[in-house]
Amino acid sequence: MSTTESTAETTEKDAPAGASADRRRGGDRAGLIIAGAILVACLGFVLYGVLGTEDDPRPERPETPTAAVTYRITGDGNVDVSYLARSEEGRATVERDVELPWEKTVQVPLGRPPTIGIVLDGEGGQARCALAVRGAHVQSATASGTYGRATCAAERIAPAPSS
């Protein structure tokens, strides 16, 4: 085989490979365009989910129904007070070194037992706690002496009777 023949054979063998490489490059471009379009569509869905629209607001969490509860403390001296207020977790609110008399009306979630606890300070004295649900007196208790304690509680609050 001569050098001319070997060069011709090599060129013929390379030509289909070169043509195939051109086709592959065109296929690569189409693949990149498709991948880019898919990426843009996914990004659009993510932004739509994050930002939402004015026409389709996310549903708000429903409010827990509550009832009005009035806590009242009368007497002399200073007390620490803990009471249940609007807290779906049922955690107590604590106020320290409260001067008497003291009264607070709060909303307590239905199904939770309203409770108030008092503790007199180191100087003692006498204090009376009272609890009313929807304006109706439920319970009262008296604390006296140094660090005297009292607790007023009611059963779980039921929904108001229908009229």
What's the CA gap between 67 and 149, in Å, rounded? 26
- The owner of tokens 């008296």 is 142
Out of 37-51, 61-75, 108-122, pick the least confident: 37-51
The confidence band for 133, taking pLDDT boundaries of 50, 70 and 90, is very high
Is it the case that residue 152 has pLDDT exceeding 90?
yes
Q: Are 145 and 97 in contact (CB under 8 A)?
A: no
Out of 17-26, 100-109, 126-135, pick the least confident: 17-26
State the average pLDDT for the chain. Answer: 79
> Residue 101: its pLDDT value, please?
94
Count other Cβ atoms within 10 Å, centred on residue 83.
22
Is it the case that residue 17 has pLDDT exceeding 70?
no
What letter represents residue 154's amino acid? Answer: A
Cα 20 versus chain centre, distance: 59
Domain ranges (residues) in the chain: 1-58, 66-153
Taking only the tens place, the pLDDT of each residue in 65-104 is 888 999 999 998 889 999 988 665 667 889 999 999 999 9
Q: Give the list of residues 6+ apart from residue 140 with CB closer than 8 angstroms, or none.
A: 128, 129, 130, 131, 152
Q: Could you tell me the fold of the domain covering 66-153?
A: Immunoglobulin-like (2.60.40)
| Six-digit token string for 2 | 């001569």
Q: Are 153 and 131 in contact (CB under 8 A)?
A: yes
The confidence band for 11, taking pLDDT boundaries of 50, 70 and 90, is very low
Query: Residues of the chain with pLDDT > 90: what percent?
Result: 39
Q: What mean pLDDT do residues 36-53 have?
A: 75
What's the CA gap between 152 and 143, in Å, rounded? 11
Query: Residues of the chain with pLDDT > 70: what percent?
Result: 71
CA distances from 54 to 38, 58, 60, 147 (A): 26, 9, 14, 57
The answer to whether the predicted template modeling score (pTM) of the entire model surpasses 0.85 is: no
| Six-digit token string for 36 | 């880019």
